[in-house]
Amino acid sequence: MERVALIAGGGRGHGLAIAQTLATAGLRVAVADLNPDRAEAAAQIIVQAGGTAVGIQADVSNKFQAAAMIEQTRDAYNRLDILINNAHVSPGDAALTMDEWNWRRTIEVNLTGAFFCAQLAARVMADESGGHIVLLTRRERSAAGAATQAAIEALAATMDRDLPDVHVNAVPATDTDALLQCLEISR
């Protein structure tokens, strides 16, 4: 049975590259992005290359939209085996100049969104045959961004310990080989 991967933040950049790599490896993918046109365009790129993909619009910082994203993936493919959370924002503000809105938005998207996605996906995976959750990290320069990345690493370690049938890892966004290794996929 073909595995199914959901890539949150998969509409461009590293997220799209990961979605393409997984589709090339034979996985069916759901590409989620805040921008619906970008999600659909990314899915079409994968389909035109011979893969199987659907585009989904979602703001991962909204628990209801994160839940809908997971349900839309299951509606399309009847299962969810892998969640890769690449959704993030990167404010360039220094600690002394960052305003409250940028601080809160960074925490909401990068950390709260990662938690909602992982929690909701883990519930589905625990009811099925287990799965893999990968929370992508990156080197951040802003105080809010760096704080969220450290928290994501701790979140992944805690969830991995607490979930016997679901493997949870934090992996650098630029390390595709480490990502594929933790998903047990070879190129």
Residue 185 has pLDDT above 80, yes or no: no
Report yes or no: 179 and 171 within 8 Å, Cβ to Cβ. Answer: yes
105-116 confidence digits (pLDDT tens) = 999 999 999 999
DSSP character at residue 108:
I
70-106 confidence digits (pLDDT tens) = 999 999 999 999 999 999 998 777 888 889 999 999 9
Q: Mean of the pLDDT values across residues 59-78?
A: 98
- Confidence class for position 158, pLDDT limits 50, 70, 90: very high
Amino acid found at 50? G
Both tokens of 53, joined, read 């993909």
- Confidence class for position 143, pLDDT limits 50, 70, 90: confident
- Confidence class for position 136, pLDDT limits 50, 70, 90: very high
pLDDT value at position 175?
A: 79
Instruction: Classify residue 24 as exposed, middle or buried by CB count within 10 Å of its CB (0-12, 13-18, 19+).
Output: middle
CA distance 113 to 94: 22
Both tokens of 136, joined, read 């992508």
Fold of 4-104+118-182: Rossmann fold (3.40.50)
Residue 187 has pLDDT above 70, yes or no: no
pLDDT value at position 173?
A: 81
- Confidence class for position 1, pLDDT limits 50, 70, 90: low
